[in-house]
Amino acid sequence: MTEVTLAVVGGGLRGLTYARHAHATGAGRVVAVAEPDPRRRAAFAAEFGVPAGSAFPGWKELAAADRLADAAVIATQDQLHTDPAVALADLGYHILLEKPMAPNEGEAARIAEAARRNGIMLAVCHVLRYTPYTRAVRDLLDSGRIGRLISVQHLEPVGWWHQAHSFVRGHWRRQDTSAPMLLAKACHDIDWLVHLFGRPPARVSSFGSLSHFRAEDRPASAADRCVDCPLEPSCPYSAPRLYLGCLGDPESEFWPLSAVTPGRTPEAVLEALRVGPYGRCVYACDNDVVDHQEVVMEFDDGATCSFTMSAFTPMEHRRTRLFGTHGYVDGDGRTLRVVDFRTGEEEVVDTTAAHAGAEGPSAADGHGGGDEGLVDAFLVSVASGDPSPLRSDAFESLMTHRVVWAAEQARLTGSVVTFRPHG
């Protein structure tokens, strides 16, 4: 296969993950990077052998250099996707774009239009579509084994410490600087559910709120920072317990620890917790995104789907139950228990063999094989000029983002929203 050259915009955690996989397989090679943090930029350029003249302090400088690679990976934070995506699409780069596409529908539509206008491939990083597990679920549905799909129950167990890390103390804690949590976190799930049903819902409702990580839930004697707090040893959300516990484990040092500090000693971690955002009491942050949300969808044939996103779980794979006219499936993100109503027999399908070593649910684990599957599909598509390995294009992703916005509208207005696939 022809080696695909890549320009990476945002040399943070996601940019690194995709670049490393592309290099490891030999299917892609990073030839340019745009990253304003000088330490990150230098480390990224050194790791991938990017020449100094192609390591830029930002996406604008990269775009000013004309087209340097076949494709661009856009892995900047949520509110900084649209302008680089449109500018690089206009230069003819194929694009691997981190989710969410953009914070609002207008910007996401601009991105999809730019992809169409320039005839480029643009894949949004809905990595769940690319796991062996998802393929097995889709194959099962397509085979007709459980008959017609009547309802689905789906759980996204965010995890108590993951919620505290990302959605209370971290980057995704506020709607105005990131996105509503349903968009930032569960656009994956809504996209996945639409993918399973093979079509968008006809009607959407939603409920949810920030119910715990608030000033009114703060114990009286709690301090503003864990390092000063007498309650720290007994608090489930202790930052020292979480981050000191990452030391010595390469996966946890990559994520979540490297968001907190580049240091790898107890002293460096404690210093970051003394001064940085990740050491704050979870009841004394400036967070406003929800900690639990339900979305209920009804499809045109009366089929229904209920989705729960909750902070108050272990961090695990998503769980899904599929209720069909001829069978039932209970999935835990790794295995599928299939019950056939015609025979009463059960079968357990193990989907993990195909991605041994990348089974876990988190970013550090590669999202159950989804990260690798996505990068492989993107590179093969760019190399061959045939987009068929990609499981969604820009307009499919725009449509599933619009379902998320419809759910948010339903939640905020207390109404049932009729979904129109084309706006």
Q: Which CB, 39 or 326, lies closer to ligand NAD?
A: 39
Residue of 6, 69, 71, 80 that binds ligand NAD (CB under 6 A): 80
Candidate segments 69-77, 307-315, 347-355, 391-399, binder of ligand NAD by CB under 6 A: 69-77
Candidate list 70, 78, 156, 232; residue touching ligand NAD; CB under 6 A? 78
Minimum gap (Å) between residue 70 Cβ and ligand NAD: 19
Q: What single-letter amino acid sits at 303?
A: A
* Contacting residue, 14, 154, 169, 318, with ligand NAD by CB under 6 A: 14
* Candidates 7-15, 195-203, 238-246, 311-319; binding stretch for ligand NAD (CB under 6 A): 7-15
CA angle 106, 158, 378 (to 5 degrees): 55
Stretch that binds ligand NAD, among 12-20, 243-251, 283-291, 311-319 (CB under 6 A): 12-20
Among 4, 7, 22, 34, binds ligand NAD (CB under 6 A): 34
> 35, 156, 189, 396: which one contacts ligand NAD (CB under 6 A)?
35
Residue 228 per-residue DSSP state: G
Region binding ligand NAD by CB under 6 A among candidate stretches 4-12, 105-113, 225-233, 235-243: 4-12
226 touches ligand NAD by CB under 6 A: no
Query: Is residue 101 a contact partner of residue 111, using CB atoms and an 8 Å limit?
Result: yes
Shortest Cβ 19–ligand NAD spacing (Å): 11
Quote the least distance from Cβ 188 to ligand NAD, whole Å.
Answer: 6
**Pick from 328, 321, 227, 313: nearest CA to 271:** 227
Q: Give the CA count within 13 Å in the CB-facing half-sphere of 397.
A: 32
Nearer to ligand NAD, 279 or 366 (CB): 366
Residue with tokens 């994520």, as numbered in its chain: 255
402 closest CA partner among 157, 115, 194 = 194
Q: Which of 150, 128, 285 is nearest to 215 (CA)?
A: 285
Give the residue among 416, 393, 419 at the shortest CA–CA distance from 121.
Answer: 393
Q: Which stretch binds ligand NAD (CB under 6 A): 31-39, 115-123, 220-228, 346-354?
A: 31-39
Encode burial over 150-160: b for 16+ CB neighbours within 10 A, e otherwise.
eebebbbbbbb
Whole-angstrom Cα distance, residue 78 to residue 212?
A: 24
Q: What angle do CA 216, 220, 223 make, to 5 degrees?
A: 100
Contacts to ligand NAD from residues 92-121, by CB under 6 A: 98-99
Using CB atoms within 10 A of its CB, is residue 145 exposed (0-12), middle (13-18) or buried (19+)? middle
CA 417 remoteness from chain centre: 25
**Min CB(78)–ligand NAD separation in Å:** 4
Task: State how far the Cα of 10 lies from the Cα of 328, in Å rounded to an integer.
Answer: 43
Provide the mask over 45-64, with x wherever binding to ligand NAD is found by CB under 6 A and - wherever it is not: -------------xx-----
Q: Lay out the site mask for ligand NAD across 356-385 (x = CB under 6 A, - = otherwise).
A: -------x---x------------------
